[in-house]
Copies of this chain bind each other. A is one copy, B any other.
């Protein structure tokens, strides 16, 4: 199989991911709503406010009953009921009557305005013992009313497709009492590390073993870019074990990401497994690091083989998988965080292959990290990576570079 150029590989991988698009209805709960992205336009289901609502504590009145009211010559109304927020009155106001009302309570029938409590006085009629309300200031029609539907009408577009459910937009859905929306489905990504020398970080290492890195870095890169990342642990670098692990992971996942075991030597196991249970779409990309990258398909699901080297694996995951993962969950590629800085030192780059190089950012300068590509220290120091085209052999000091951050 011919080694692919980076742009060619990107195009193929983009198309493979597009086949995975799958909107999903999610229940709108407090826990699962954050960081979801709206798939279909959302239409309002109720008027807001859902009824004519008082904006003040006071008295619901017929405004015509209050004309020319003043401190010296108050209008006297008979109070026939009282409404707290959350309750309502079944009574209708006639001329000469009013109903006591709290902020947020529904306006009773017959009333067309609210007299603020500050401009009223309550007095008991000595003859009848009734509560009388003295209105001390005239009230304009509709004063202090929030009319039903004045904030939001039913059946209107309220949130567009691709809206990210940030706290304010979640508030909008909550206010509508919307219980379920169509959101972009977050794919489940299974992460498998292959290598006889690897142990997980909750085990002891013996001589000859090393701690696995990729399970942790790739799982977290998946989660931070919108997918459900799930570790499937470590598998020995042999055909039967890897095949069994991948088949088991495919049962519960949309995408399986393996690292290690992709080079042309002893470890060419993933290639053989994919040849049997599915098909290999890409094997080898003209890129440094990450040449042995594999992209395969098994029953409409994707299986991705990253290099075993932790730096290479993470860079390849960010270059080829993260932008597609973000598109898949509705987060557009543009949101990937980038920084601009000036190159502090020239970088030599291999001709004929696209090169991704780690850099550290300090005070606006990008310092190339020139260590073995396998070095864990380089991950400790790095803020992100820059891209060097395959035709560039030297990137000069002082050049402005764009850094993709490991977010």
Contacts and interface: CB of A to CB of B under 8 A. Distances in A.
Interface of A: 28-30, 33-35, 48-51, 57, 83-88, 102-106, 146, 151-152, 158-159, 165-179, 195-198, 201-202, 205, 207-221, 223-224, 229, 231, 237, 265-267, 310, 314, 371-372, 374-377, 379-380, 382, 405-407
Contact of A85 (B103, B196, B376): B196
Contact of A105 (B171, B208, B237, B406): B208
A197 B219 CA distance: 44
The 5 closest A-B pairs by CB, nearest first: A171-B217, A86-B196, A86-B197, A174-B216, A167-B221
A185 B179 CA distance: 33
Contacts of A178: 201
Contacts of A214: 171
A211 B167 contact: no
A167 B205 CA distance: 23
Contacts of A29: 202
Nearest to A174: B216
A376 B127 CA distance: 48
Given A211-B175, A375-B151, A167 B104 contact: no
B216 A30 contact: yes
B177 A211 contact: yes
B201 A168 contact: no
A38 to B, nearest CB: 12
Contact of A51 (B207, B266, B379): B207
Contact of A201 (B28, B195, B220): B28
Given A220-B34, A406-B168, A174 B84 contact: no
Given A57-B265, A86-B209, A223-B34, A376 B196 contact: no
Given A30-B219, A151-B375, 9 more contacts: A28-B201, A33-B220, A50-B205, A50-B210, A57-B265, A167-B224, A168-B217, A171-B310, A172-B213
A345 B207 CA distance: 70
A116 to B, nearest CB: 11
A151 B231 contact: no
Contact of A379 (B49, B168, B215): B168
B85 A152 contact: no
A215 to B, nearest CB: 7
A3 to B, nearest CB: 19
Query: Which of A49, A85, A218 has its CB near the most chain B CB atoms (within 10 A)?
Result: A85
Contacts of A167: 216-218, 220-221, 224, 314, 406
Nearest to A208: B88
A50 B208 CA distance: 8
